Structure 1
Amino acid sequence: MMKMVSSSPGTWSLCALGFQNQAVPRRCGWFLNLGQHRRLTFVKGQRQIDGIYRSSFSPTNPLTLSVRAFYGGQDHFLPDDLSLHVRSPLTEEEATEELSKIDPELLGIVRAEYILMKGSGWLVPDKVTDKVLLEMTKLSKKKRQKRWEHLAVRALAKEEKAMKKEEPKKLTEYDSLYDYRNIVCRKSLLNTLVHYQNMHLMNAMMYHQPLLIDLGYDSLMTHEEKKALSIQLGYIYHDNRESRDPFNLMLCHASSDSESTYSIGVQKGILQPSWMWSVTGRDMVDLYPRKSLVYLSPDATDYLTEFDPNAVYVIGGLVDKNVSKKLSQRKAQNRGVASVKLPIDQYKLRSGQTSILPLNKVLKYLVELRDTGNAYEALKRSVPRRKLEQNEENLVVKEKRRRKFY
């Protein structure tokens, strides 16, 4: 014999009142379908079932409930006299009636806890209904605290959602003039975008400002550092291709028999002719005059706070996890080339962070400095957040320079 009973207001249980002290097959149980989306399964895997087995669920809406049983691997419909009825959750009137039956002392404790938590700054809802009080009387003290916080978070989310619905959309002049309804749009495919970016890079190779990446540090890097260099060069190519005014990228001092060059070609395939940059084994001083070259080194004494459109900037292709000192600085001095560094050490760094950046972040700083003319803004947009303090008041620049117009 099987029947559906109510164990508490709003909670319904399927009880198996049978198979007591009897050996039953292992494949025995019941399937419950609540509405169209939820399916509950209760399977009794024991060889012998004793007593009453109960499984509960709380329906949120008065949905259709269907039950079927299987026994010994075959489906068996339930008896016709089995009556199932699922009612909707408690109303406020029913909750008030049930609340009158609760112990007044317990109810007073729950209300006192709520007032104390609200006065102490705990996260609790602003309004408490009888349904909530009735629910809290059935929970322990620790569970009540978690439930108060959960209800408060839900209430705040509902208020925020309602405010977003009531708040009208503010249209700026740009939105009104260049809205998608006022222009003829053409679907831009990925191949079309890549083709446009490649054409942009081809134009940069002929007419734009050059940017050199020195690959002459092969003997100073380990195998893992050379792999990391190839990955960073891939990031540089990607970021430069997506910039508004890309540089004319050139990989100089790239020896064909070096392990670094081989790792670059294997890791990213970036030495293929389809990549829009120049690769040469010549030194930087053989490509451009020394007066126009500016080497970016973290050990330099001067800061790069103003972008020079006539300079040829050189980024050292060195990934040194041991942070060796003055390698790129010595190379610039031996070549008679000016050197500068990013003004990252003028800002308050997090403890344990260095002022050395990956190669792609150095390129990002150059792009932002060229576009904004502000070293402070360029650093904020290019330096990883983990290196700087999150509090923006601590990002104090020691010296401010005005923007220079060309």
Structure 2
Amino acid sequence: MWRQAGKRVPEEMTDEEVQALAELTTKSSRKKYLKHLSIKEGHKMFRKEKQQKKKAEREELLPKEDLEPKNTFLLQFWNRSIDKHQAWRGAQAMRFGQPLVFDMSYDSNMARRELENTVHQLMEVEGWNRRATEPYNLHLCNLQVDGTYQKELLKQYGADVWDRILINSSDKHYIDLFPREQLVYLTADSPNIFRTFDHSKVYIIGALVDRSIQSGLSLANAKRLNLATARLPLDQYLHWEIGAKNLTLDQMIRIMLSIKETGKWEEALKFVPKRKYDGFHHERAQQEIPKNRVKRDTNYRPRQDESGFSGRDRMAGMPGDREKISQPSATRVRTSFKSNIEGRRNDGKGKVWWNDE
């Protein structure tokens, strides 16, 4: 009936989506949920059609003989070989890597769509960490069995893939798994600035997507547990423009991987979306330097000697300027030479050689 009335509703729904729809109590919430499912279904169909179109265009451009395998002396890397290599590095990280904890205790503070978005970001986190040169030993703590987080992860990954994925998941608290003095909770509300990366610390990131910006949730949890807190040095390096200083989980993992590898915040903070800031502070300072230099040059006056001409006038003057400068000087030299000769002739002290016959 809603589809015939022009409402946005999905074409197909899973059993879980029907159950989630039945749990909603108000009519407006059901309309919003159906609209969300319809938009989600439209995006999925658009991506599928786009992939099929690209595949057809690629097959048309390539000749038929290029589609057939060829013998070559070059070593070809298959996807399964790359997957094995990345899986080996992930296994090494689970054994010897630095732990990075995601706090999964915020399921009650998020709506259904926010929780789904959180799980999608966690999948991005796992992918970026798996492809890194030195991956972290990821820990999903406070992950309750048969909880909303667990159900959504199993839905997105699949039961078989989730059992084989190289992530430590536990329903235990992180204070029970790691020493309290090594834990540092990263939150945007912390008064402490994260200046130097410490390889001996265990950093904690709250698995939270909060569209309503409920500030202070992660900081309150850290204070309740008496843990050290820190926030990224965004104001110290970036000229912040608009928006809150809350970053997504996939942006956080890329920043943490970069600062671990390079130790430079200039490199790590490049993964902050550029729509949120207007460049780094040192870049803006370099842009303002030429203006100051021009201003100082206009006030500068070269030093002149007794003749009224500076060294710049003698060495770097234009040809027209040289003629103007040399003409009065030559006149003064000839005048002084003539008066000197006449004085010597009058005194009778000698004769000039060109008048001596």
Relative to the length of structure 1, the TM-score reads: 0.50
1:280 to 170, 184, 189: 170
Equivalent residues, number: 213
Give the match's secondary structure for 2:101: strand
Matched, 1:266 2:155: yes
In the alignment, which residue of structure 2 is the partner of 1:369?
A: 259
Show the counterpart of 2:355. none
SS at match of 1:213: strand
Which residue, out of 182, 188, 191, partners 1:301?
A: 191
Structure 1 counterpart of 2:82: 193
1:384 equivalent in alignment to 2:291: no
Give 1:332's match in structure 2, choosing from 222, 235, 238. 222
2:86–2:131 Cα contact (<8 Å) kept: yes
Bigger fraction of residues in strand? 1
2:239/2:280 contact within 8 Å kept: no
CA distance 1:391–1:331, shift in 2 (3 Å): closer
Structure-2 change in CA distance of 1:259 and 1:388 (3 Å) = same
Partner residue, 2:346: none
Root-mean-square deviation over aligned CA pairs: 2.1
Aligned runs of 1:6-405 on 2, under 5 Å? 185-269=74-158, 272-349=162-239, 351-380=241-270, 382-389=271-278
Preserved CA contact (<8 Å) 1:348 1:395: no
Change (3 A) 1:390 1:309: closer
State the identity as a percent: 30
Deviation at 1:257, TM superposition (A): 2.8
Q: Secondary structure at the match of 1:298?
A: coil
Q: SS state of the match for residue 242, structure 2?
A: coil
Structure 2: how far apart are the matches of 1:264 and 1:212?
17
Contact kept in structure 2, 1:293 and 1:311, CA below 8 Å: yes
Structure 2 unpaired stretches of 5+: 1-72, 287-357
1:273 alignment partner, SS class: helix
Q: CA deviation at 1:344?
A: 1.4
Once residues 341 and 293 of structure 1 are traced to their aligned partners in structure 2, the CA distance between those partners, rounded to angstroms, is 14
CA 1:218/1:391 → structure 2, altered by over 3 Å: closer, same or farther? closer
Shift of residue 269, structure 1, vs aligned partner? 3.4
Corresponding residue for 2:6?
A: none
**Residue 323 of structure 1: SS of its match in structure 2?**
coil
Deviation at 1:264? 2.2
* Native 8 Å contact 1:209 1:312 kept in 2: yes
Give the Cα–Cα distance (whole angstroms) in 2 for the partners of residues 347 and 308 of structure 1: 19
User: For residues 253 and 240 of structure 1, what CA distance do their matches in structure 2 show?
Assistant: 20
- C-alpha distance in structure 2 between counterparts of 1:290 and 1:274, whole Å: 30
Equivalent pair of 2:125/2:249 in contact (CA under 8 Å): yes
> Structure 2 length normalisation: TM-score?
0.56
Asked if 1 retains the 8 angstrom alpha-carbon contact of 2:122 and 2:250, the reply is: yes
Q: Distance in 2 between matches of 1:338 and 1:364?
A: 22
SS at match of 2:185: strand
In structure 1, the residue matched to 2:340 is none
Gapped runs of 5+ residues in structure 1? 1-183, 398-406
State whether residues 348 and 396 of structure 1, in contact with CA within 8 Å, keep that contact through their aligned partners in structure 2.
no
Task: Give the Cα separation in 2 of the matches to 1:189 and 1:248.
Answer: 26
Query: Displacement of 1:376 after TM fit?
Result: 2.2
Aligned-pair distance for 1:303? 1.4
Distance 1:310 1:395, change over 3 A: farther
Change (3 A) 1:341 1:396: farther
Q: Offset at 1:185?
A: 4.4
Q: Which is bigger in relative contact order (C-alpha 8 A, separation at least 6)?
A: 2
Residue pair 2:144, 2:150 contacting (<8 A) in 1 also: yes
